[in-house]
Structures are given as structure tokens and as C-alpha cells.
Homo-oligomer: A and B are copies of this chain.
Amino acid sequence: MKIVAAAKILKANDQLAAETRAKLDAVGVFGVNLVGSPGAGKTTLLEALLAHWKGERWHAHACRGHATSMAPPRPAVIEGDIAGSIDAERIEKHGVPVVQINTQGACHLDASMVAAALADLDLGACDLLFIENVGNLVCTAGFDLGERLRILVLSTSEGDDKAAKYPAIFQSSQALFVTKTDLLPQTNFDLQRITADFRRLVPQGAIFPMAAIRGEGIPAAANWLAEKCRR
């Protein structure tokens, strides 16, 4: 009985997610589901990307803005957290439309939460929608939110054994953003090991190492994302 119910919930989620994907496609909005552990650096990554596209100063660094001939994407953000609005407030400072979802205890976003949040966004005014999931390397894996791209954010300080220990989330992601590479000298994280592990699970997956706090690696990731959302 329990298993049947769980399958039903997942089916309803998948159906809703497919509808969201079709809706976003119809208005030319590229959805990105950002997943990762608590503290992996998902919000800092977003802040660095937003600063890059706006050519803003980011920490001590003056961002050079969009390096290609294309106009930068117009981003919007949905923030998923159990409680509070810390992350949404950080995003808001960058002048980008943001909606905070409070899951009130739930350990992941689902398609119905995202569908509800979409009602509060002007989809005509954006073409790249980031959905920052609850910090969780387990429960977020099974829930399609209607995105076109799932990015797994993994920080070097978490260790390089995570693909072996949390295979589902790696397997369901199309890109791996390895954050906090500025901490590499202080950790025993092996970039080659995680690259090999991810490639084994997702042969076509993209990998971007970065130190978002310093803006390092951000231009490459930003350009790749901008091209993705233009296809």
C-alpha cells in the first residue's frame, strides 16, 4: 500500500513537472534545478553568476561581464528552503526577480511547489530560471521540477567520495559544478577522482570547477549556461 502511494505521488509529480517544462518552453524560459548539500555554495554560485552577467563588482573582484558577443540572459530565481528567506534576500540585492518557497519541513522541492511559485514570476521578463533546491544530496534526486538542466553543486570541502555514497543525485544531474576550489590546498579532495566518478555515471556530463567567492571559473560556467538557454 505504501509503495503504491509513493509511486502515485511521484507520477503526479512527473506529470506536473512535464506541464511546467512545456509551459517554460512555450515562453522561452530555460529552467535549471540547482541541487547540492547544505553549504555547498549554491547561493554564492548564483550571486557570482548574477554579478558576472551584470558586470557588477563581486567581493573584491570587478566582474568583466559577459565575455561573448551575445547579450547576457535575463535571470529569475526560485529559492527553496525549509524556513526563512536568507537566500532570497541575498539574491534580491542583485536586482533579480526572486520567489522564496518555504517547504515547512519538507526535505526537497517538488513540482507542485515550483508550479505555485511560477505564478509569482513574470515569465515574459526572464529567459533563465534558476530553482535553488533545499540543501539535500538525497531527497532532491527523485523529484523532477520541470527543469531542462539539473546542476549538482559539490564543494571540495565535502570530500571526493560523494559520487560513491550518493549515486542517485549524481546520476540524475547533467552537470557537476565543483565549488570552493580555493580550498583545494587545504583539503584532500581529488578533482580527478570526482571527474572520473561523474563521467562513469553521466558520460556526457559537463564539469566546471570554480571558486565562486573569488569569481574564478564563473565566466566559463556563465557562458556555457547562456548558450544552453539560447538553444
Contacts and interface: CB of A to CB of B under 8 A. Distances in A.
Interface in A39-66: 39
Contacts of A186: 182-183, 186
A95 interface: no
A38 B83 contact: no
Given A2-B5, A86-B161, A165-B83, A136 B155 contact: no
Identical chains bound together, number? 2
Given A107-B138, A135-B138, 13 more contacts: A37-B38, A37-B137, A37-B158, A39-B158, A81-B165, A82-B166, A82-B168, A83-B166, A105-B168, A135-B166, A136-B138, A138-B139, A157-B183
Interface in A77-115: 81-84, 86-87, 105, 107
- Which size class do A's interface residues fall under? 20 to 34
Contact of A37 (B2, B39, B81): B39
A83 B164 contact: yes
A128 interface: no
A162 interface: yes
A180 interface: yes
Nearest to A142: B105
